[in-house]
Structure 1
Amino acid sequence: MNFILYSDVNDSSISASLGRPEYSYYFVLKAYHPVLESLGRVHVAASVADVDVLYRQLLAAGEDSVFLSFTPPQKTPVDLQCPTICVVAWEFDSIPDEEWDSDPRQDWTQMLARHGRVITLSSHTANAIRRAMGEAFPVLVLPTPLWESFAAIRQQQLPTPVNPGTTLAIKGCIFDSRTLGLSADALIPVPLTPEEEAVLAAELEAARPPALTLKRRFVIARHYLRLWLLDAGRQQIEPVPRVKFLSNWYWEGVRDLLPDAVHDWLERRLRAICAAQPLPVAEPVPLNLPDTSSVVETRVDGVIYVSVFNPRDGRKNWHQLITAFCWAFRETSDATLVLKLTQNDLALYYSELMTLLAQLTPFACRVVVMHGYLDDAQYARLYQAASFYVNASRCEGLCLPLMEFMCSGKPAIAPDHTAMQDYIDDSVAFVVKSSEEPAIWPQDSRLIYRTLRHRPDWGSLKSAYERSYRMATTQPLDYRRMSEAAIERMQHYCGFSEVQMRLSNFFEPLPKVTDVASATDNASC
């Protein structure tokens, strides 16, 4: 069997794709690669156009193939000769079962029916698909096989609830709440003194344009007449509309001479000239952002909470994650929250993050924000440094970072909804309570409520922080048991042999194709 794999994000584009809605599909593809290789040959296509070319070559050699598309159903082709299976990461309680924008591809039921079967990353997604497609529709629940990848980290040291000290490094920048000088007072405008008000009034008066005397009006008229003539004498690719000069002359030179009634009459009849022009959009004040081209370090110790997320992803609920931490540990100096943010553009979240931290001041706990690229060795330090991994999401399609830290022996603070219900319970985590709330399908341009997600309870999250801290500092044996339970859970959930067995059973009934002409219908796969 040959497995042809494709993802929109690849090795060359991943560093520039962090934060894109579907960038995690790349990591799923990489994680599946070894287990697929144990069952056949693996080919990673550079583009969808290469799939059928490779398929025909292999078919001519008498070899079967299947195309695994690591893209959402609406982006997975249905017209290939190669049997196609979509690998779906989905976090809502229903799949799109209607079309919009006159695009039938948005209806996943049509797309999946054409493919004939589907691979999902969680039982939550599988149940949503079966509700739409019927219980008999072939669905494979296949978590990414991660457990073996963290064997070296598990062997290096036993999980420690209270970290004696670890140096973290990253190519990018690090923000530390203890060195930022944050203060809520900085968010409040300082009133001007009488002397400052007088200076400001004088500056405004000095900037006021001169009075519109008859001579001044003549100068304005001459200026715009000159611009009109100059414009008429040169050829431009996009010439300035002549009416713009008349409009500028009207508003700057004679508008104030006319009563409002006359102006309104002229605006109705000569709108292009007499209507008010839109004000120019003010350029945003540039942020004084740090350099991100070099490797920087910081040292952390105590009880370390870690979370990895994209701050532009509204599902991650990171405001609650931070506020609950700072509120739980307002007077606890040895609690540290390390945030590794997976968003390339620092300017997209910098002001929002700093404002939130300033609003929470003062607090004794520490918040460390890491922006940039972590290589494997740097990530290994982060895994080892953590006491707990924190997830406060509204919904998850899988949550690879949470699984990775649990594979490293780190207990979690997390809800047990959506994909996390497959591997989160009280034996491996401090479970955060949540309830359902209406949501939109994220790709639905109509922005209408068609599905559900979950609303984590802030009080439950705060309590989970407090209970986990007590365990780490006063109950090391309980922490060790929870750490061992997390490792065992991940071994059974995403170990290589378990995933391999599921894959083997799923692909066993694939039909053999004897010629290209008979391989045009994906429904059989």
Structure 2
Amino acid sequence: MNFILYSDVNDSSISQSLGRPEYSYYFVLKAYRPVLESLGRVHVVSSTAEVDALYRQLLAAGEDSVFLSFTPPQKTPVDLQCPTMCVVAWEFDSIPDEQWDNDPRQDWTQMLARQGRVITLSSHTARAIRRAMGEDFPVLVLPTPLWENFAAIRQQHLPVPVNPGAALAIKGCIFDTRTLGLSADALIPAPLSAEEEAALAAELEAARPPPLTFKRRLIIARHYLRLWALDLGRQQAEPVPRVKFLHNWYWEGLRDLFADNLHGWLEKRLPAICGPQPLPLIEPPPLDLPDTTSVVETRVDGVVYVTVFNPKDGRKNWHQLITAFCWAFRETCDATLVLKITQNDLASYYSELMTLLAQLTPFACRVVVMHGYLDDAQYARLYAAASFYVNASRCEGLCLPLMEFMSSGKPVIAPDHTAMEDYIDDSVAFMVKSSEELTIWPQDTRIIYRTLRYRPDWGSLKNAYEHSYRTAKAPTPEYQRMSAAAIQRMHDYCGFAPVQKRMADFFGLVPQTTDAAPVTDNASC
């Protein structure tokens, strides 16, 4: 069997793709690849246009193939000769079963029906698909096999509840509440002194343009009338520019020459030309952001909580995650929350995050924000530094970071909804209660309520922080018991052998007992 793999993101583009909606499919493809190699030959293509040519070449040699598209159903090709399946990460209780924007691809039931089977990352997603497609529809629930990837970390770093001190480095920048000097008072602008007000008034007066002379007004009016006349002979989709010329002709050239009682009369009869001027767009001043091209380092110790998320992803519920931490540990000096950000654009969240932290001040605990790309070696340092991993999401399609930290032997704080129901319970986690709430399918441009997600309880999250801290500081083996349980849970859930068996049974294949077949790389993954 030949497996042809494709993802929108590959090795060369991943560092620039952080924050994209489907960037995590890249990591799923990489995790599946060794299992697929044990069942057949793997070919990774850089474009879906390469699939059919490769399929025909292999078919001519008498070899079967299947194309696995690591993309959502609406982005999976439907016109290929090669048998096609998509790998779906989905976190809501229903799949799109209607179309919008005159695009039938948005109806996942049509797309999945054409493919005839599907691979999902969780039991939650499988149930949503079977509710729409029927209980007999072939669905393979296949978590990413990553447990073996953390063997070295498990051997080198025994999980400890209180970190004696660890260095963290990242190519980017680090914000530390111990050094930022944040204060809620800074959110309120200081009043200007009399001298400052006078200086500002003088500056505004100096910037005021001189009054227009009658001759100058006629020149301006003639200029816009000329542009309007020239534009009459041009073909255009919309008449907005022509109206704009006349609007400027009236407002900038002639309006002040008319008596005040004529202004209202003209605006009523010629609103497009004489109506009010739109307010000018005021651009905010540019942010003074740090350099993100060099490697920076910080040191953490004590009870260290780590979370990995994209601040522009509304599912991650990061405001509650931070506020519950700062409130639970507002008088606790040795509690640290490390936020690893998976978003390239620092300006897109900087002000929102810093405002939130300033609103929470003063607090004795520490928040460290790491912005940038971590390679494997740097991520290993982050795994080792953590006492706990924290998830407070409204919904998850799988949550690879949560599984990775558990595979490293870290107990977690997390709810047990959506994909996390497959591997989270009170033996490995300090549970966060949640309840259902209405939401939209994220790609639905109509923005209408069609599905459900979850609302984590803030009080339960705060209690989980406090309970986990007491466990870390207590002279009991409870932390070590939870650590061992997390490792065993991931071994059983996402170890190579159980994932390989599920995949082999689904495709009707026998795992190879000899060395893995050669892999053909058409693109890096």
Is the shorter-chain TM-score for this pair beyond 0.5, marking a shared fold?
yes
1:519 matched residue in structure 2 = none
> What is the CA–CA distance in structure 1 between the aligned matches of 2:509 and 2:138, rounded to whole Å?
11
> What is the CA–CA distance in structure 1 between the aligned matches of 2:247 and 2:40, rounded to whole Å?
72
Matched, 1:6 2:3: no
SS in 1 for 2:174: strand
2:216 matched residue in structure 1 = 219
State the 1:84 CA deviation.
1.1
> What is the CA–CA distance in structure 2 between the aligned matches of 1:233 and 1:329, rounded to whole Å?
68
1:331 matched residue in structure 2 = 331
Asked if the contact 1:217–1:254 (Cα under 8 Å) also holds between the matched residues in 2, the reply is no
Asked if the contact 2:388–2:412 (Cα under 8 Å) also holds between the matched residues in 1, the reply is yes
State the 1:85 CA deviation.
1.2
SS in 1 for 2:179: coil
State the 1:477 CA deviation.
1.0
List per-residue Cα deviations over 1:202-253 (Å, max 9, x = no partner). Answer: 44344444456xxx2223323553676799999x999996775654453245
State the 1:267 CA deviation.
3.3
One-letter amino acid of the structure 2 residue matched with residue 62 of structure 1 = G
One-letter amino acid of the structure 1 residue matched with residue 472 of structure 2 = A
List per-residue Cα deviations over 1:12-62 (Å, max 9, x = no partner). Answer: 211111100000001000000000100111111111111111111111111
1:450 matched residue in structure 2 = 450
> What is the CA–CA distance in structure 2 between the aligned matches of 1:180 and 1:264, rounded to whole Å?
54
> What is the CA–CA distance in structure 1 between the aligned matches of 2:270 and 2:94, rounded to whole Å?
54
Structure 1 alignment gaps of length 5 or more: 511-525
2:81 matched residue in structure 1 = 81
Per mean C-alpha deviation after superposition, the further-off stretch among 77-86 and 421-430 is 77-86
One-letter amino acid of the structure 2 residue matched with residue 360 of structure 1 = L
One-letter amino acid of the structure 2 residue matched with residue 140 of structure 1 = L
Matched, 1:365 2:336: no
Per mean C-alpha deviation after superposition, the further-off stretch among 75-84 and 30-39 is 75-84
Query: 1:101-250, aligned counterparts within 5 Å?
Result: 101-211=101-211, 216-225=213-222, 247-250=247-250
- Classify 1:318/1:228 alpha carbon distance in 2 versus 1 (closer, same or farther; 3 Å): same
State the 1:496 CA deviation.
0.2
List per-residue Cα deviations over 1:312-362 (Å, max 9, x = no partner). Answer: 000000000000000000010100000110001101001111111111111
Asked if the contact 2:243–2:272 (Cα under 8 Å) also holds between the matched residues in 1, the reply is yes
State the 1:190 CA deviation.
1.5
- Classify 1:83/1:347 alpha carbon distance in 2 versus 1 (closer, same or farther; 3 Å): same
> What is the CA–CA distance in structure 1 between the aligned matches of 2:61 and 2:69, rounded to whole Å?
23
- Classify 1:227/1:30 alpha carbon distance in 2 versus 1 (closer, same or farther; 3 Å): same
> What is the CA–CA distance in structure 2 between the aligned matches of 1:476 and 1:89, rounded to whole Å?
39
State the 1:199 CA deviation.
3.5
Q: CA RMSD in A?
A: 2.3
State the 1:270 CA deviation.
4.3
List per-residue Cα deviations over 1:246-299 (Å, max 9, x = no partner). Answer: 544532454234345522333355445423332332223111110011100000
State the 1:10 CA deviation.
1.3
> What is the CA–CA distance in structure 1 between the aligned matches of 2:426 and 2:67, rounded to whole Å?
39
> What is the CA–CA distance in structure 2 between the aligned matches of 1:66 and 1:230, rounded to whole Å?
60
Asked if the contact 1:220–1:249 (Cα under 8 Å) also holds between the matched residues in 2, the reply is no
Matched, 1:391 2:391: yes
- Classify 1:232/1:97 alpha carbon distance in 2 versus 1 (closer, same or farther; 3 Å): closer
State the 1:414 CA deviation.
0.3
- Classify 1:168/1:220 alpha carbon distance in 2 versus 1 (closer, same or farther; 3 Å): same
One-letter amino acid of the structure 2 residue matched with residue 166 of structure 1 = A
Taking only the aligned residue pairs, the percentage that are identical comes to 80
State the 1:194 CA deviation.
3.4
State the 1:77 CA deviation.
1.7
1:423 matched residue in structure 2 = 423
List per-residue Cα deviations over 1:454-483 (Å, max 9, x = no partner). Answer: 000000000000000000011451000000
2:520 matched residue in structure 1 = none
2:350 matched residue in structure 1 = 350
> What is the CA–CA distance in structure 1 between the aligned matches of 2:294 and 2:468, rounded to whole Å?
35
Asked if the contact 2:224–2:246 (Cα under 8 Å) also holds between the matched residues in 1, the reply is no
> What is the CA–CA distance in structure 2 between the aligned matches of 1:481 and 1:280, rounded to whole Å?
62
> What is the CA–CA distance in structure 2 between the aligned matches of 1:231 and 1:399, rounded to whole Å?
58
> What is the CA–CA distance in structure 1 between the aligned matches of 2:459 and 2:444, rounded to whole Å?
32
List per-residue Cα deviations over 1:108-158 (Å, max 9, x = no partner). Answer: 111111111111100000011111111111111100000000000000021
Per mean C-alpha deviation after superposition, the further-off stretch among 255-264 and 475-484 is 255-264
Matched, 1:483 2:480: no
2:44 matched residue in structure 1 = 44
List per-residue Cα deviations over 1:407-454 (Å, max 9, x = no partner). Answer: 000000000000000000000000100000001000111100000000
Asked if the contact 2:221–2:250 (Cα under 8 Å) also holds between the matched residues in 1, the reply is no
One-letter amino acid of the structure 2 residue matched with residue 388 of structure 1 = F
Asked if the contact 1:167–1:300 (Cα under 8 Å) also holds between the matched residues in 2, the reply is yes
Query: 1:434-473, aligned counterparts within 5 Å?
Result: 434-473=434-473
Asked if the contact 2:228–2:245 (Cα under 8 Å) also holds between the matched residues in 1, the reply is no
> What is the CA–CA distance in structure 1 between the aligned matches of 2:243 and 2:150, rounded to whole Å?
69
> What is the CA–CA distance in structure 2 between the aligned matches of 1:430 and 1:230, rounded to whole Å?
69
Asked if the contact 2:221–2:252 (Cα under 8 Å) also holds between the matched residues in 1, the reply is no
List per-residue Cα deviations over 1:51-98 (Å, max 9, x = no partner). Answer: 111111111111111111111111112222111111110000011111
Asked if the contact 2:304–2:388 (Cα under 8 Å) also holds between the matched residues in 1, the reply is yes
> What is the CA–CA distance in structure 1 between the aligned matches of 2:378 and 2:241, rounded to whole Å?
58
- Classify 1:202/1:476 alpha carbon distance in 2 versus 1 (closer, same or farther; 3 Å): same
Asked if the contact 2:302–2:334 (Cα under 8 Å) also holds between the matched residues in 1, the reply is yes
SS in 1 for 2:180: coil
- Classify 1:98/1:243 alpha carbon distance in 2 versus 1 (closer, same or farther; 3 Å): closer
1:378 matched residue in structure 2 = 378
SS in 2 for 1:450: strand
- Classify 1:475/1:458 alpha carbon distance in 2 versus 1 (closer, same or farther; 3 Å): farther
Asked if the contact 2:161–2:303 (Cα under 8 Å) also holds between the matched residues in 1, the reply is yes
Asked if the contact 1:388–1:412 (Cα under 8 Å) also holds between the matched residues in 2, the reply is yes
> What is the CA–CA distance in structure 1 between the aligned matches of 2:440 and 2:120, rounded to whole Å?
20
> What is the CA–CA distance in structure 2 between the aligned matches of 1:244 and 1:110, rounded to whole Å?
46
Asked if the contact 1:287–1:347 (Cα under 8 Å) also holds between the matched residues in 2, the reply is yes
1:341 matched residue in structure 2 = 341
SS in 2 for 1:356: helix
1:522 matched residue in structure 2 = none
> What is the CA–CA distance in structure 2 between the aligned matches of 1:348 and 1:238, rounded to whole Å?
39
- Classify 1:313/1:244 alpha carbon distance in 2 versus 1 (closer, same or farther; 3 Å): closer
